[in-house]
Amino acid sequence: MNYINITELRQHLPSFIDKVQAGEEIVVTQRGKAVARIIPEYAESPAEAAMKRLDALRGSVIVGDVMAPFVGEEWSGDADNL
């Protein structure tokens, strides 16, 4: 974790942003006191997370209608409730 004065941050912002993108955390100080922390963004959108989970399941599941009978078979799921 780097501690950097706010004045130096303003003067060299692009280089510090590159460091943050590389995974480094930066603590911004003003008059010797920590006032902010710049951390890498790791969060992904819910849609991206869902797509990753679906990709991980690819090839290990069968997609279909679990409520419909197989072709050529009669549905007997409610036979005992008639």
Q: What is the pTM of this model?
A: 0.50
Q: Give the per-residue pLDDT at 30.
A: 94
pLDDT of residue 47: 85
pLDDT per residue of the chain (82 residues) written in tens, 0 to 9? 789 999 999 999 999 999 998 888 999 999 999 999 998 887 677 888 888 888 888 877 776 666 666 666 666 666 666 5
Order the strands of the 26-30 sheet from edge to edge: 2-5, 26-30, 33-38
| Cα–Cα distance for residue pair 18/23, rounded to 1 Å | 9
Tokens 């480094």: give the residue: 24
Structural domains in the chain, sorted by start: 1-60 (3.40.1620.10)
